Structure 1
Amino acid sequence: MNKYKKITLDGLIFQNPTFMLVLGTCPTLGLINSAFSAMGMGLTVLVILTLSNMLISLLRKIIPNEVRIPCYIVIIATLVTFARMFLQKFIPDLYDSLGTFLALIVVNCIILGRAEAFANKHTVLESAVDGISQGLGFTLALTIMGIICEFFGKGSLFGLQIMSFKIAMLTSPAGAFLIYGLSIAVFVYVVDGVQRMLRVKSNKLARENMLKEAA
């Protein structure tokens, strides 16, 4: 498999940071009661993750191993500061809705985890693809859960009222936790099923090739 394809599939599916690795739980549970906030947080993390991956990969041979974690945090904190200034100036509604969670991106375990596990061992291009893939995986997961929570909890989508029927509990922390748990269960079940099907197909092709060679 092409390495970039593998990196992309890992970020979106097989190592999805939200559903498979269960990282970034704090902003996930705090923001999925609104599709707008969930998508906004996801896209913000995507940009910061991609840029931090690229910078850390670029500087990986310069940064001393003993102080690499503090250096990663300084790089990420700088990017988060720029992101906060940008959102406050141009998208104030999103800035207000993200609140404290925006500042907490500095210590987001997804970003720090990719810096330590991937960016400091791979090229800039590979790190950029990893950042985009992991960021998209995180964004899609938050947006899907945000849509579910807002639609059934408030009867609206992205602030637009659609129906009067509401399940208010789904907009509470307990409801967010419930939706998160169910989403993980469904995602893992589907991914496991797909992987089993692919293994069966691969084994079948291998047996057929062996029979052809034997004949």
Structure 2
Amino acid sequence: MSATKSYQEITADGLWNNNPALVQLLGLCPLLAVTGSVVNALGLGIATILVLVGSNLSVSMIRNFVPEQVRLPAFVMIIASFVTCAELLMQAFTYELYLILGIFIPLIVTNCVILGRADAFASKNPVIPAATDGFMMGIGFTVVLVLLGAMRELLGQGTLFENMQLLFGPMAANWKIVVFEDYSFLFAILPPGAFVGMGLLIALKNIVDGHLKARAERNRADEPKPTVDRRVRVTG
């Protein structure tokens, strides 16, 4: 089956129109749980991107060979394999961050974003569009993770990019930015703060979408309408 969408449409869907976090509202459990800081959010986001791209690639490659009866179990096994790879890589290279993220790394297996893209897109499209879809959906999900993490870290601790060395090594030890000295707002760090922050991001997207829709309607209204020749031709 050929791709039903252009690469531009796939990109727009992943980043904005069909963003898995802001529009589909999928994967909210890890999204809300680990976004207390930018480094946590970015670590989970990178792991999710790797799993999304790998699983979409694999599902697309075997889509014509897997019987309908075992389709979903096969997809879950593929996703679990890539999650195991991501987990082992984090244990090897970012062990302290792996300990902080804890159970939410293996729980990527049950993330509805991963299985949803495998079933809805990768199983119906060729390899390159499927990989592109996985990458763009992962980027869209990660952007929301990082925005929410930055919002909560800034409001909760008054800092940005703290402990980035857990992900990027010693070179990132000085990336921390202190915005407010001796500041703490516990509500932003706790789960209720995550729900409020997520609601604000969704509301902001809806406002932007409303403005874009209103502008498109104004542009259509301003377009010159084609004139119709109403002259009556008399023959005799």
TM-score, normalised by the number of residues in structure 1: 0.92
Q: In the alignment, is residue 55 of structure 1 matched against residue 58 of structure 2?
A: yes
Match of residue 64 from structure 1: 67
Residue number among 27, 46, 51 corresponding to 2:49 in the alignment: 46
Residue number among 81, 84, 91 corresponding to 1:81 in the alignment: 84
Q: Tell which has more relative contact order, 1 or 2 (C-alpha 8 A, sep 6+).
A: 1
Change (3 A) 1:59 1:209: farther
Residue number among 121, 125, 129 corresponding to 1:126 in the alignment: 129
Match of residue 37 from structure 1: 40
Q: In the alignment, is residue 182 of structure 1 matched against residue 185 of structure 2?
A: no
How far off is 1:182 after superposition? 1.3
Give the ranges of 4+ consecutive aligned residues of structure 1 lying more than 6 Å apart after TM superposition: none
* Farther-moved stretch of structure 1 (182-191 vs 143-152): 182-191
Distance 1:99 1:71 in 2: 26
Change (3 A) 1:200 1:63: farther
Match of residue 110 from structure 1: 113
Q: In the alignment, is residue 170 of structure 1 matched against residue 188 of structure 2?
A: yes
Structure 1: gaps of 5 or more residues: none
Sequence identity (%): 37
Secondary structure of the residue that 1:6 maps to in structure 2?
helix
Structure 2: gaps of 5 or more residues: 163-175, 230-236
Secondary structure of the residue that 1:99 maps to in structure 2?
helix
Are the counterparts in 2 of residues 20 and 188 from structure 1 also a CA contact under 8 Å? no
TM-score, normalised by the number of residues in structure 2: 0.84
Match of residue 7 from structure 1: 10
Alignment RMSD (CA, Å): 1.7
Aligned residues: 211
Greater Cα radius of gyration, structure 1 or 2: 2
Match of residue 149 from structure 1: 152
Match of residue 25 from structure 1: 28
* Farther-moved stretch of structure 1 (44-53 vs 163-172): 163-172
Distance 2:134 2:197 in 1: 26
